[in-house]
Amino acid sequence: MNSNIGTTCVQGGYTPGNGEPRQIPIIQSTTFKYETGEAMGKLFDLEAEGYFYTRLQNPTNDMVAKKIALLEGGSAAMLTSSGQAASFMSIFNICENGGHIVASSSIYGGTYNLLDVTMRKMGIETTFVSPDCSDEELNGAFKENTKLVFGETIANPALTVLDIERFAKAAHDHGVPLIVDNTFATPVNCRPIEWGADIVTHSTTKYMDGHGSAVGGVIVDSGKFDWMAHKDKYPGLTTPDDSYHGITYAERFGKEGAYITKCTAQLMRDFGCIPSPMASYILNLGLESLHVRMKRHVENGQAVAEFLSGSDKIEYVSYPGLKGDKYYDRAMKYMGNGGCGVVSFNLKGGRGAAEKFMNSLKLAAIETHVADARSCCLNPASTTHRQMSDEQLLAAGIPAGLVRFSCGLEDAADLIADIEQALG
């Protein structure tokens, strides 16, 4: 049955049979029983489907992964223990030592660090380009060994909006997939696959969970990228895997299944960063109301952004839903129902003013977090992005006085009253 997104949020991924639990069961078991060694051997050879060890697959995790795959319009998905694990694995699954990445410079600080520091140590190079770079610059960033393009729908915290269609086209013109981190928009407000993205990632810690309860991540594959058409570029998918008795993922599992099967069977087997079934259950509770909550986050974000843009204490406000915002037109194209509840603004008076403002807030807490039911705020330059140089901060669109304010689900009038008193 074809469902609208709200129905998928509530019921997708799990349909109980007669007399079975209405809520998804938490299969809190590390292992699964078999009658014969032969039956289990088939699972090890990926010849039969089934569960044998929760590090590789668990029914609760799979139900929630399936729901998110449906929400994003993908063919398959895999949950991870954090958004960082999802970003890393989504890349490493197709880009190893000697590979090269083209990435938007305006991305989450943790992802920037992953690409710019840690993956360089693994022999993987990244060329960063502005999300607003010219076509010449974008196309010029590709190299012989480029394996993928990476960007973020709405970047945390700069709130730049990625021109997904343009980045997808550039990626495809060079025979590589586009990976989009869709954490801030969520599939309720943007479905990157419909605009040409090949793989979508999330920190489910944010809106998907939505209650500040469980750290997690997810990787969704569109099932559309033709690995076999670029056989030499992706030997991990298109040549036999010796650690699985010579399986060639792209042949055995096709376009729809190869990427996530390899990611699960090989990377999850070796890195082991799975979510606990309990964490996935908590994530699913959040997903059940995602469509209802996103509407309120956006309403509050819009109200707060409009209020701030009229204040003489503020140098500028970034919110893609604000008329006149640099990314307004792009946001309307990709996110007609609104983007997210996060508003960034630069206080007149820089870092000091930002600090005084945040300390005076009563409803919004200072937190290393966003996209929660409770409003919170942060000064990225002194916290999440402190490893970046001033030039890097500017390239990412994050001046020292910037406050990232995540509008929760409270009443907009109360949030605005609190902000007004804190501005003094």
Ligand X SMILES: *Cc1c(COP(=O)(O)O)cnc(C)c1O
Stretch that binds ligand X, among 91-99, 203-211, 300-308, 321-329 (CB under 6 A): 203-211
Work out the number of other CB atoms within 10 angstroms of the CB of residue 276: 17
Cβ at position 115, least distance to ligand X in Å: 12
Selected binder of ligand X within 54, 61, 84, 266 (CB under 6 A) = 84
In the bound state with ligand X, the residue whose beta carbon lies nearer, of 84 and 280, is: 84
**What number of helices (H) and strands (E) belong to the chain?**
18, 12
- Contact (CB, 8 A) for 55 and 79: no
Closest-CB residue for ligand X? 83
Residue 327 as a binder of ligand X (CB under 6 A): the answer is no
- Contact (CB, 8 A) for 283 and 209: yes
In the bound state with ligand X, the residue whose beta carbon lies nearer, of 206 and 233, is: 206
Residue 72 as a binder of ligand X (CB under 6 A): the answer is no
Cβ at position 113, least distance to ligand X in Å: 11
Residue 111 as a binder of ligand X (CB under 6 A): the answer is yes
Q: What 8-state DSSP symbol labels residue 148? A: E
Residues 212 to 251: which contact ligand X by CB under 6 A?
Answer: 215, 217
Residue 82 as a binder of ligand X (CB under 6 A): the answer is yes
Residue 108 as a binder of ligand X (CB under 6 A): the answer is yes
Residues 146-185: x/- map of binding to ligand X (CB under 6 A)? ------x---x------------------------x-xx-
Closest CA to 6 of 257, 356, 293: 293
Residue 209 as a binder of ligand X (CB under 6 A): the answer is no
Residue 126 as a binder of ligand X (CB under 6 A): the answer is no
Helices (H), 263-405: 269-271, 277-287, 290-309, 328-334, 350-360, 390-395
Count of positions on this chain that bind ligand X (CB under 6 A): 17
**For the stretch 109-123, what's the b/e string if a residue is b when 16 or more beta carbons lie within 10 angstroms of its beta carbon?**
bbbbbbbbeebeeee
Closest CA to 61 of 197, 206, 219, 223: 219
Q: Alpha carbon 79 to chain centroid distance?
A: 11
In the bound state with ligand X, the residue whose beta carbon lies nearer, of 112 and 259, is: 112
Work out the number of other CB atoms within 10 angstroms of the CB of residue 49: 8
- Contact (CB, 8 A) for 33 and 151: no
Terminal alpha carbon distance of the chain: 54
Cβ at position 357, least distance to ligand X in Å: 22
In the bound state with ligand X, the residue whose beta carbon lies nearer, of 184 and 195, is: 184
Stretch that binds ligand X, among 82-90, 253-261, 336-344, 396-404 (CB under 6 A): 82-90
Residue ranges binding ligand X (CB under 6 A) = 82-84, 87, 108, 110-111, 152, 156, 181, 183-184, 203, 205-206, 215, 217
